[in-house]
Amino acid sequence: MREFARKNIKDVHDNQSDGDSVRYSLYRHRYPKIIAVAGGKGGVGKTIFASMLGMCLAGFERRTVLVDLDFSGSNLHGFLDLPDTNKSLNSFFTGRSNTLSEMVQRTSFEKLDAITLQSDSLRFSDIKPWQKRRLFRELKKLKADYIIYDLGGASSSFALDAFLFANHSVVLSTCDMFSVLNTYSFIRSALLQGLRRFLYDSPTALRALDECGLLVDSKTVKTLHTFLKQLGAGNAIRLDAIQKFLRQFTPKIVLNFVKQSEPLSDFMLLGPLVKDLLNIQLDYWGHLRYDLAVRAATQNQRPDMLLMSEGPASEDMVRLVVRNLIAQELMAYEGKEPRWIDRIDNILSFYHESEMLKCRNRCLLWNSCTSRAEGGPCSRVAFQQIKKAG
C-alpha cells in the first residue's frame, strides 16, 4: 500500500464548501444517517467493528463521526489513538458545553472525526431524560454524512433508546450459542422498549408484554403474535401503530470473527427464532472473517492497520459497506427488503464475486462509476487515505 501523502486537512465543521466537493457523493441528505452498533454481550468486537466501519466510509469520501456511547467501558479513544482531553461527552452532559459539535475531535484519518467518553466518571443512570433527548437532537445537527455510535453490550434504557433512534440499528454476534442467545435477548429488549410507548397507559398490557418472547426452560413461551391477538379489536388504532412499528423495526445482524471451521447452525436459528417469537424480520448484513492482522492492530494500538487493502476482515468490511450503504445511496442495488440466510453455506458465500475489490462490470456501483478499470483494483475506496496521516 502506498504511503499516505500528508495533506492540509481543513476543519470540516467550519468549511461547508469542502463538504460539497466530496468525490462520488452523488447522494446528499439533509441530516446524517445514524448507525448504532450494539451487541448482546461484551467481546463480540463492537468497538473494532465501529472503528473499521467509520474508516471504510471515510475511505469512500463520506464525512463520518464516531461517537462512544459505551458507558460500561468506553475505549474508542484508545482504538483511534486519541489524546485524553476535556473534549468529551462528559462535558456535554455536565453542561460545560452548549453544543455537541464542540466535542468533536479530528482523528488522524481524513474525513473521520470522533466524540469520546470517559465512562469511569459518568454512568448511563446519571443521564436525565431531557439530556438524552438533547443528545439525539444534537447528533442530527452534526455536519456529516454518517454518525456511528458504539453502544456497548449493556441493555440499559439509554442504550435501547439510542438503538431505536438510529437509521440503521446493527447488532454484532459471533457463532457460539451463548452469543446468539444474548443477541436474541438484546433484540427482544429493544423491541419491547419500542412497544411500551404505545401501551404506557395500560399497566395490564405492559405486564403481558413483558412475558412475550421469554426463553425459559420447561415453560411455554408467549409469542408477540399471541399478545397482539389478545390486545383485541377494540384497540384498532393502537394496533395499527404497533404493526407499523414492527414493520419498520428490522435490526441489521453482522456475524463477526467467522472462522471456516466453526459450526454455524446455532447462528442460523437466530432469524427464525426472532420471526416466530417476536414477529419481526432480521436483516442479515454480512460477516467479517477472523483476521489476525486486526487482532495485532488492536493489541499494538495501531489504528492505521485496522483496515488494510488486503486482509479478509477488511475485504469483508468494504463489501458490507458497498452492499448495504453506498449502493443504497446511489440506488444501484435493489436489495431493500430485509433478508435472512436460509442455508449454512450461504453465509460464507454471501458476498457475490462481483463484490470483490477488483473492478468488474457486475459491481453494484458500476452504473454510477466514472472510474471504470475492469480487471484492475477498485478506485472508489481510497485505501491510501485510510492509512494514518504521517
DSSP state of 175: S
Determine the 3-state secondary structure of 367 from DSSP: helix
The pLDDT of residue 144 is: 94
Residue 186 has pLDDT above 80, yes or no: yes
Task: Assign domain 16-197+250-386 to a CATH class.
Answer: alpha beta
Q: Tell whether the model's pLDDT for residue 176 goes beyond 70.
A: yes
Mean pLDDT, residues 217-243 taken together: 82
For residue 235, give every residue at least 6 positions away whose Cβ sits within 8 Å of its Cβ, in sequence order, or none. none
Q: What is the mean pLDDT of residues 67-79?
A: 84
Q: Is the pLDDT of residue 362 over 90?
A: no
pTM value is 0.84
Low-confidence winner among 40-49, 213-222, 311-320, 371-380 (lowest mean pLDDT):
371-380
The three cell numbers of residue 125 are: 443512570
pLDDT the model gives residue 40: 84
* pLDDT value of position 308: 78
Per-residue pLDDT at 387: 43
More confidently predicted of 126 and 267: 267
pLDDT of 19: 34
How does pLDDT run across 277-300, given as a tens digit for each residue? 999 999 999 999 999 989 888 888
Helix axes 292-299, 312-321, angle to 10 degrees: 100
Euclidean distance between CA atoms 340 and 117, whole angstroms? 34
Poorest-pLDDT segment among 84-93, 97-106, 235-244, 371-380: 371-380
| Distance separating the N- and C-terminal Cα atoms of the chain | 14
Give the model's confidence band at 327: pLDDT under 50 very low, under 70 low, under 90 confident, else very high. Answer: confident
Burial call 368-385: b when 16+ CB within 10 Å, e when fewer = bbeeeeeeeebebbbbeb
Q: Measured at the alpha carbon of residue 275, what is the angle toward residues 174 and 340, in degrees to the nearest 5?
A: 55
Q: Are 103 and 95 in contact (CB under 8 A)?
A: no
Q: What is the pLDDT of residue 353?
A: 47
